[in-house]
Amino acid sequence: MGSNGYYEPLLVGQGRPELANLSSEEVEEILTTHEPLPYRWWPRLVAWESRLLWVLSWASIVVSIFNFMLSLITQMSAGHLGALELAGASVTNVGIQGLAYGIMLGMASAVQTVCGQAYGAKKYSSLGIICQKAIILHLGAAFLLSFIYWYSGAILRGIGQSASIAEQGQIFARGLLPQLYAFALNCPMQRFLQAQNIVNPLAYIAVGVFLFHILLTWVVVYVLNYGLLGAALSLSFSWWLLVIMTGLFILLSPSCKETWTGFSTQAFKGIWSYLKLTLSSAVMLCLEIWYNQGIVLISGLLPNPTISLDSISICMNYLNWDMQFMLGLSAAASIRVGNELGAGNPKVTRFSVIVVNATSILISIVFSAFVLICRTTLSKAFTSDDTVIAAVSDLTPLLAISVFLNGIQPILSGVAIGSGWQALVAYVNLSTYYIIGLPIGCVLGFKTSLGVAGIWWGMIFGVFLQTVTLIILTARTNWDKEVDKAAERLKMSADEEKLELVDNIA
């Protein structure tokens, strides 16, 4: 349909059917027929794409943020117990819990991949078996990680932390042991539901448990005075509440009637094949998560480690909060890109990439401005120590830069994942983060007077290089060729012999 046909009056608002009712194929035809696209049409098409984007992303954003804020509330309560308690909780969150967090989330990414494949192939009963396989492996990993939690004090001293910080860290880590097993159960169950596009219930559960956790932490820490151990046990209890509510939904909801058919011994068959897939899926995410956590651990080796750890941990918590929001948006970007490539719509794919990146840049500007405006208020939420407050205020400009970069980078990663570039991005992460960014941070932190700011500058440089690399890769992408590659993948997936992976796992 040409410029004088159906679409032009629709786009300029002359009483035709709602723009929201346009299909991707129709928008593809608009973008193909009208190139370059008239400026007056951009607002309507941007609104069309934005609506699809936010329908997909809102629940994922809510789940990411509120699950993360469970730990945030606990760390805030630790900060008000004292600077030493905050340092112990911070180094445990990063060095011990962060290790487990990266491994568990990395393993869980395989659940979403394989369950999504099985769901697309309409092998609904396989989803429950895959979820059970993942739970078995996650519990096995949790058992091995338990030794790290229990002997965390010796481990923290071994990597250079002071004896007083290591002692507080061990108290906190042992209180988090129940949370480790809850996390091992929750990760597979959450991905099991997301693979079926069941996201709204997860958001409601996350918000409800978060509100309960605020009350529980206040009672345990401030009313009953159970200190750092009480704060850790409160977090563990809240995570088990998440597991129980999510499990009950899976067992009782009609939405899961076809995908969850009960426990089965089939979950133990072919588990080695699934383990290999799980390990390979974990690499990219672990490289991403451990980079930021390594920066915090290194700061504990600086002179006056308590202040260094407290200040950078407070800043990192706000950076992580921003990252949780962007990861929800990144997941939606990945879905949009994957869907449109699979549908054979290269123009819509490119348009979607433009819209989601423009959206993330605008959001990042707002978040960065908020950080700069509230530089003192942010630190007071965690601590009443004037020295720590001043240190956080000095780091706030660097935090604002990181917030801006980390608002763009996850979206580009989401586009890369939707396009099937995971292996390439893993190499990019390894080179920009660990070969370049981390050594620069160590040199600036320990060989100059910059201290903790020097370590942060190294982190910024690594993220900047990764972001620039992904921008170049995305800008140079031939989306018509990506559509051809996606079509080949779909052809292979449609071949029954190529579905062997799902059959073996199921």
Most confident of 201-215, 433-447, 489-503: 201-215
pLDDT at 216 over 90: yes
Q: Would you say residue 38 lies in a domain?
A: no
Written in H, E and C, the secondary structure of 318-384 is HHHHHHHHHHHHHHHHHHHHHHHHHCCCHHHHHHHHHHHHHHHHHHHHHHHHHHHHCHHHHHHCCCC
pLDDT confidence tier of residue 179, bands split at 50, 70 and 90:
very high
291-335 pLDDT, tens digit each: 766 666 676 666 666 666 677 777 777 777 777 788 778 777 776
More confident residue, 218 or 349: 218
Confidence of residue 506 (pLDDT cuts 50, 70, 90): very low
Residue 273 belongs to what domain range?
80-280
- CB neighbour burial string for 468-492, b if at least 16 within 10 angstroms, e if fewer: ebbeebbeebebeebbeebeeeeee
With cut-offs at 50, 70 and 90, classify the pLDDT of residue 185: very high
| Residue 220 resides in a domain | yes
Residue range 116-142: mean pLDDT, rounded: 77
Q: Is the pLDDT at 388 greater than 80, yes or no?
A: no
Task: Classify residue 304: in a domain, yes or no.
Answer: no
Q: In total, how many domains does the chain have?
A: 1
Give the pLDDT confidence of 240-262 residue by residue, as tens digits. Answer: 999 999 999 999 989 888 888 87
Q: Is residue 115 predicted with pLDDT exceeding 80?
A: no
**Residue 489 binned pLDDT confidence (cut-offs 50, 70, 90):** very low
Highest-confidence segment of 21-25, 99-103, 120-124, 400-404:
400-404
Q: Cα–Cα distance between 439 and 334 in angstroms, integer?
A: 31
Residue 112: pLDDT above 70? no
For 252-280, what is the mean pLDDT? 77
Residues 435, 340: Cα–Cα separation, whole Å: 35
Position 14, amino acid = Q
Q: Residue 493's pLDDT band (boundaries 50, 70, 90)?
A: very low
Structure tokens at 388: 């720590």
d(CA 300, CA 167) in angstroms, rounded, equals 14
CA distance 440 to 438: 5
Please give the pLDDT value at position 262.
79
Is 432 inside a domain boundary? no
The band of 208, judged by pLDDT with boundaries at 50, 70 and 90, is very high
Q: Tell me if 338 is assigned to some domain.
A: no
Q: Which residue from 186, 168, 119, 180 is spatially nearest to 506, judged by alpha carbons?
A: 119
In a domain, 185, yes or no: yes
CA distances from 332 to 194, 329, 432 (A): 12, 5, 25
Measure Cα distances from 89 to 80, 101, 174 in Å.
12, 15, 11
pLDDT attached to residue 2:
45
Is the pLDDT assigned to residue 158 strictly greater than 60?
A: yes
Specify if 260 maps to a domain.
yes
Look at residue 269 and tell me if it is in a domain.
yes
Sign, CA dihedral 224-229-235-240, equals: negative
Q: Please state, as a whole number, how many other Cβ atoms lie within 10 Å of the Cβ of residue 496.
A: 9
Are the beta carbons of 444 and 457 closer than 8 angstroms?
yes
Strand residues in 5-106 grouped as ranges (E): none
Q: Give the model's pLDDT for residue 500.
A: 43
pLDDT, the chain, mean: 77
Q: Which position has the higher pLDDT, 377 or 357?
A: 357
Q: Rounded distance, CA 71 to CA 372, Å?
A: 24
